[in-house]
Structure 1
């Protein structure tokens, strides 16, 4: 039920009366009453400017009092009451803005954003021991900024101008999960394309990196994941800036988010810019050699994870880059220009060759295995190996890059990549589905390419290719009119 006009006047007068008295618990009751009636939409729409103006004066007085607090001479009881009154002012402000563009604009014009941000800056840095009161005020003040910004571009811009980047970074670093949650909501609400580009500038990049750190350390914090996927990944400038400023461990988080986004939007036009794909392909080419060093270490995941060497983290980044490139070239036509990325295919084929040779030279992390009895068990080191499916994904990417691309089909043949792929079609518990990816790659290599078909036929005639392997892949070599032809057959025929 809506409050009466008399009640409206009474509350307005009561709030105004707070300015002439010393703070006391009765003031808290007045503010709580105002907060409660603001839950009623009809009342919210009827509150006059003078009432909000009085509330702002109360908030400003509290701000001045708290800023004047001396860390050496502090009345904890008095500060505790001031913090309670501040939190209640924030609650009233927060409630006033719910589904009310009129109140959002009115409070902005009166100056509530400026005073609130001044208070939040103080609250997140103060050394006052009443931490519970600090966190409560912080949380509600941040919620107010969130409600102010919803659906109101002018308020978003004003909040951004006054809080970016330092205060937002500080609020995202507060030692209180709820405050961080609300601060990430404010950041997400305020962001747009122009503001994301501001984040790319060197003096602002720490805010973006803090968001990515929260994605890694608090994956259940939905707002930061939304910020990353809906805004950050759509800016090639920001992605490159963040990547350059990240540790390899942090880069893996970024790449995992990219991969998840690509999988989620497999059948849709992905919002990730082409320049991001080019940058990641080049990064893979520059750093891919790091993964080869894993062969000199233990195949045990537990030992590798505990290994502090930087090379391990570099190798894990390479593995994640490969996963992203596989996703980009699978169901996303907008990234198929990677088929023409300079020397990318050459790099992939040569890396597959090196991994294959290393794996056959001695027992190491790249060696083929036949350990399927407890593949998903915790006691199986293969299951936790950092290079699980690495060779399979190299073959998958070769297949993607050769799809309907004659130049790349020919290039793989010239690099002697066809026998290499055939030699990796056997079942390997370190590379689940490697046979299937080999089938996929061979078929893409042979499609409408007579020279590649003839090469496989010659391999079979010389005995250098395992006929059973070819048959396993679903192919049969047949001589007809003096020529060798490759035809597909059913595996059970």
Structure 2
């Protein structure tokens, strides 16, 4: 039968109304409206209305439990939770009432558990989870903790379920709880892995959850237990957030952890000298170095990295090894100084830029230069390691390392600033000879030594 609109929901005789009648009444009476100013409004729920809703949910819970009248019960159950979802989102008073109502919370917990066992119930389950999401969003911290205590088991179970819309909605609930209660974040490798899976599905809440994890020590504890591909995802996320001036995601502790990981694993880059199968391990090292190189020029991270003497030593010795290997023959670390050679190599091997060695020397030089900026101790350390001569030897055109000459010049500048000993070392170097360049010869010019210790560029025919 059709119910008159003038009758309030709490005044209805629900015993004489069909489920279909109740569903239609809720649809008609509880509508989200938007006024001319763009403000949304929605009918509030009185205490009596909430009591009436609980009565109906109890009956529907029995139906779900006994698996009777399911086809009639689910549409009404979904409409009830739509009403609750919208009301708690707009009315803070209703949100608080529901948050402290143990009966409705227990009923909701039962229904989520029961409905999650059957794929055909997913549309109803989604609305119930959306209600729970609105219930915790911007709620009082202590009430969020109460809700978490009641729902954490089923929420984590659903979060770890097979990919569909459910983990994303659960991710929204978890994020809004953890945002004010980081102490509640599960100290668990499984949770981290599923947050990464959610992030890879391009869910915003996957990224937001990982950003919360970056602010804790949980990722540091479990980093080594993650698959290498999963570590790579986290490192890419760090790279994408570290330049945000307002971001507090990357702590100095996390940055020092990244430095330690690089030092432990950096030698694996040398395994790609001649043969390179597209493995993720060297790419992880490249990503770690990229983060360090970028962080070393940012004030909020450079202060802690500059103190890491072992990082500087590691970079100098690794640069020395790579530079030496590159001179031994035609391999992935050999400099490409001729444009014709680059063209030939690209025809033979179109993936030069995909090799982890691409740009690696330049990145190492960038780190060395940044770590020596206005730091006499580090400047002296590089000199003692014969790093200045090494840097100057790297100062050649190399298509495998774009801008390497500029990074060398920058590094040498930082090494010499305020350091007379380093300046004296460079000033005391003697010129052995000028080196002919095939590239310059093709342009019709050569380097000319005028015997006054000056080198200039002249046309080839004048040299003759």
Shorter-normalised TM range: 0.7 to 0.9
Checking the alignment, whether the CA contact within 8 Å between 2:61 and 2:111 is kept in structure 1 is yes
Partner of residue 115, structure 1: 107
Match of 1:57 in 2: 55
**Alpha-carbon separation, structure 2, partners of 1:449 and 1:226:** 46
Alignment partners' CA distance in 2, 1:440 and 1:139: 57
Deviation at 1:279, TM superposition (A): 1.4
Distance 1:464 1:403 in 2: 31
Other-structure match for 2:227: 247
**Candidates 134, 151, 155, aligned match of 1:163:** 151
The whole-number CA distance in structure 1 between the counterparts of 2:310 and 2:173 is: 44
1:69-468 aligned at under 5 Å gives the runs: 69=67, 78-111=69-102, 112-124=104-116, 126=117, 128=118, 131=119, 133-153=120-140, 154-164=142-152, 166-175=153-162, 177-192=164-179, 195-199=181-185, 201=187, 204-215=188-199, 217-218=200-201, 220-229=202-211, 231-235=212-216, 237-265=217-245, 268=246, 270-298=248-276, 304-305=277-278, 312-369=279-336, 380-459=350-429, 461=430, 463=432
Q: Distance in 2 between matches of 1:467 and 1:119?
A: 80
Q: Cα deviation per residue 1:82-109 (whole Å; 9 max; x = unaligned)?
A: 3322222211110111221100011223
Give the deviation of 1:240 after TM superposition. 0.7
> Conserved in 2, the CA contact under 8 Å of 1:149 and 1:156?
yes
Q: 1:197 touches 1:238 (CA, 8 Å); kept in 2?
A: no
Does the aligned pair in 2 maintain the 1:196–1:238 contact within 8 Å? no
Q: In the alignment, is residue 13 of structure 1 matched against residue 11 of structure 2?
A: yes
CA contact (8 A) 1:294 1:365 kept: yes
Which residue matches 1:36?
A: 31
Q: Alignment length, in residue pairs?
A: 434
Aligned to 1:479: none
Take 1:376 and 1:221, find their aligned partners in 2: how far apart are those partners? 38
Q: Distance in 2 between matches of 1:296 and 1:445?
A: 33
Q: Scaled by the length of structure 2, what TM-score is found? A: 0.83
- Give a deviation string over 1:429-460, Cα, whole Å, max 9, x none: 2222222211211111111111112222233x
Deviations 1:62-119 (A, max 9, x none): 23322333xxxxx7xx433333222222111101112211000112233333322322
For the residues of structure 1 that align with 2:72 and 2:373, how far apart are their CA atoms?
70
Shift of 1:33: 3.0
Contact 2:100 2:143 in 1 (8 A): no
Structure 1 match to 2:441: none
Cα deviation for residue 144 of structure 1 reads 0.7
Answer with 1 or 2: which has the greater Rg: 2
**What is the distance in 1 between the residues matched to 2:123 and 2:106?**
19
Contact 2:88 2:135 in 1 (8 A): yes
Query: Cα distance, 1:464 vs. partner?
Result: 8.5
Please tell me whether the aligned partners of residues 252 and 320 of structure 1 are also in contact (alpha carbons under 8 angstroms): yes
For residues 60 and 413 of structure 2, the distance between their equivalents in structure 1, rounded to whole angstroms, comes to 74
Partner secondary structure for residue 114 of structure 1: helix
Shift of 1:211: 1.0
Extract unaligned runs of 5+ from structure 1: 1-5, 70-74, 299-303, 306-311, 469-483
Runs of 4+ that moved beyond 6 A: 37-42, 374-379, 464-468, 489-492
Gaps of 5+ in 2: 438-452, 459-464
Contact 2:178 2:184 survives alignment (8 Å): no
**TM-score, reference length from structure 1:** 0.78
Give, in whole Å, the separation in 1 of the partners of 2:402 and 2:315. Answer: 19
